[in-house]
Each structure stands twice: as structure tokens, then as C-alpha cells.
Amino acid sequence: MKLPEKLTSLKAYDPITGSYAVRLDANESYFDLPSVLKSKIADQIEQISFNRYPDPLATEVVEAFAAYYHVLPDCVTAGNGSDEIITLLLGTFMEKGQKLVTVSPDFSMYGFYAALAELEVISVPKKSNLQIDTDALIAACQQANAVVFSNPCNPTSLGLPRADVIRLIESAPDCLIIVDEAYMDFWDESVMDLVNKYENLIVLRTCSKAIGLAAARMGFAVMDKYKTSLLRAAKSPYNCDAISQKICAAVLREQTLLRHCCDEIIVQTQRLYTGINELVQRYPDLLETVYPPRTNFVFVQTAYAGEIYEQLQKAGIAVRCFPNGLRICAGTRREHTLLLTELENILQP
């Protein structure tokens, strides 16, 4: 039996596995939920009728999300993580052979899901400073059906200012503009408030980063009411399980806690950036550049990424390795101390 090449040519996503004393590889929040909140969630989970299907529209969690981010619930669709929503958008809002614009470097799974949807991918290289070339992106979108990019960017930690995103949206009115704002909680340049102004705009959000719920797969698409109705019709009827819905709704209602955690993560990210930048200044032959982050991680360019990554692994420290650099997530003060000490040991002559 011959299987389609779009399937046989794929390589599975390869996250780091194993046990590490310090995990700074997956861009997760270093805050676990407080015990009192876990107890509250446990009480709510006990009320679930496990023999019944979950709410197909995830109404409770959608309303909690909408209240937290000040958007209309009718403009929000819940998904089993942002990945499910990206898959749905590329597979249903686009047709086989249509053109999808991406930027490079960016989140690798965009190309993965585009391949499954049999789309033609047009990749626009970023500038040498890893910033998006807005003019080049606008030019590519004139001949394309959709564009998707992360803002702020995974893995570079950099962001495209709101004014430039608006210029892109207005310059390509016939192109679907999908802005993945998974890390926008750590910055203040969102365009989510504009989804009813621009019919070609879709904004994605997740509970896996600033919200601290990587264990409960929940993502959201925000767009105008008409496209929301279409996406809700296209998704699986019961795509978000009842347990995740209860957990995410309860956490999203804890607005003071969430904002406190987000503020603390931003502080720790800046401390991590400062510590690594000091190493860049002292070892310029080994570490090239560390970019001021707009996320909960930093990206440091180095030609020795593979070697440093392997040495950190041997020391029980997990980070994410790319061909031209390392992506390091913010952690606790203790984790930063262990990381910076080990980096010093690796870099010094």
C-alpha cells in the first residue's frame, strides 16, 4: 500500500525528553498553580459528569478568556492547544495548492501543518538582525492567500511593533493575516482588539505560556463573529475535554494572580538576559549576540550552539538548540544561577 508523500516525508516534532535538574527548554512558566487554587479546581472537577461529552463550545472558558482579555465571547473559539487551531485554519480556511507566507526563522510547526494541508509555502527571510522585513512580507502577501507568523517570535524573542502589523493588514486586504500571539502577554503590542475592524485578521492565543497551563491543552482563535462561526462549524464537536475546560476557566478568572506571575516572569527574563549579555561581552569569540527579549525566553546567537547544548545537558540543564543559537527560557533565580555558572565553566579557557 502506497501512502501519500505528504505523510511519509514528515519528521515528528522532537521535544527534549528525560530528567533534568533544570528545565529551560520548552518556554513554560516556572510558576505552578498555588495549592489553594488546585483545591478549588479539584472541587470543580468532582462536579463533572464523566459519562457525558463536554460543552462543544467551551462556553465557560471562552467567557473567562474574553473577560480576561477584554474581547467579545462571540469572537473566540477554543481549541485543543493552538496547534489544533493552526491545523484547522490551514486545512479549512485554505484550499490545496494555495499560497501560505511564513517568515524565517519562526515556529517550525507552521510549515509542518502547511505540508499536511498541501499548501505552497513562501518563506520570507528575516533581516540579519532577525527582525521581520515588513516591506518584503507585504510584497509576498500580495500574491498569497494567507500569512502566519509568531509575534513576539519563537525562537528569536523579538517582536514586530503593532504599527507594522497594522500596515501589513491594511496593505494586504485579500490575504488572511494570522498573528500567533502566544507570547504577547509579555509585551504590549497586541492587535487582538482589532479583529472586528479588519476582516482579514485572526489572532491566536494560548494558555501554555504566561497562563502557566502547559499541562492542560487549550488555545484560542480570536476573529470577527462571521469567521468565528465558520471555525466553530469546522472544528470537531467536542475538541476540548471537560477537565481542561474547568481548569482553564478557573485559572483565567484569577486575574490578579495571573498578572502578578506575568510581571515576575518578565523581571526574571530581563535578569536572565542581563546575565547572558555579560557572558557575551566577556566571551565575544564564542557568543555572538543575545537579543533583548519580548518573551519569557532569550535567544543567543552562537556558532557553538551544539557544543554548548551538549555540555549543558551533561550538567543536567536543558535548553533548546538551533543551528545558529540557543533558546533559553526564564526560570527561577536558582535555576539562572546554575545555568550561568555552568555556562561560565563551559566558555572559559
Query: What are 11-52's pLDDT values in tens digits?
Result: 777 777 778 899 999 999 999 999 999 999 999 999 999 999
Are residue 170 and residue 302 in the same domain, yes or no?
no
pLDDT at 8: 81
pLDDT at 128: 95
In a domain, 36, yes or no: no
Alpha helices by DSSP H, listed for the chain, are: 5-8, 35-46, 59-69, 81-92, 109-116, 134-141, 162-171, 225-234, 242-252, 255-282, 305-314, 333-347
Are residue 176 and residue 266 in the same domain, yes or no?
no
Q: Mark which of 188, 223, 253 sits at the end of a domain.
A: 253
Cβ–Cβ under 8 Å, residues 202 and 71: no
Q: Mark which of 225, 253, 281 sits at the end of a domain.
A: 253
* Torsion angles phi and psi, residue 329, rounded to 5: -80, 145
What is the DSSP secondary-structure string of 42-61? HHHHHT--TTSPPPTT-HHH
Nearest to 346 by CA among 322, 300, 313: 313
Q: Please give the Cα distance from 68 to 288 (Å, whole number).
A: 39
In a domain, 201, yes or no: yes
Q: Mark which of 197, 219, 253 sits at the end of a domain.
A: 253
Q: What is the pLDDT of residues 313-344, one digit of tens each?
A: 999 999 999 999 999 999 999 999 999 999 99
Q: Please give the Cα distance from 75 to 226 (Å, whole number).
A: 8
Can you give the CATH number for the domain in which 155 is found? Answer: 3.40.640.10
Are residue 238 and residue 302 in the same domain, yes or no?
no
pLDDT at 7: 80
In a domain, 80, yes or no: yes
pTM reported for the whole predicted model: 0.95
Task: Tell me the three state secondary structure of residue 207.
Answer: coil
Question: Burial level of 4, CB count in 10 A (0-12/13-18/19+)?
Answer: exposed
Helix (H) or strand (E) holding 146: strand 146-150
pLDDT at 6: 79
**What total of structural domains would you count in the chain?**
2
Cβ–Cβ under 8 Å, residues 64 and 252: yes
In a domain, 37, yes or no: no
Is the bond preceding residue 152 a cis peptide, omega within 30 degrees?
A: yes
Q: How far apart are the first and last CA of the chain?
A: 57
Are residue 318 and residue 233 in the same domain, yes or no?
no
The residue segments making up the domain with residue 265 are 5-30+256-347
In a domain, 150, yes or no: yes
DSSP state of 318: E
Are residue 75 and residue 183 in the same domain, yes or no?
yes
User: Which residues of the chain fall below pLDDT 70?
Assistant: none
pLDDT at 306: 97
Cβ–Cβ under 8 Å, residues 31 and 335: no
In a domain, 288, yes or no: yes
pLDDT at 122: 98
Are residue 263 and residue 242 in the same domain, yes or no?
no
Can you give the CATH number for the domain in which 295 is found? Answer: 3.90.1150.10
In a domain, 39, yes or no: no
DSSP state of 24: -
Are residue 326 and residue 292 in the same domain, yes or no?
yes
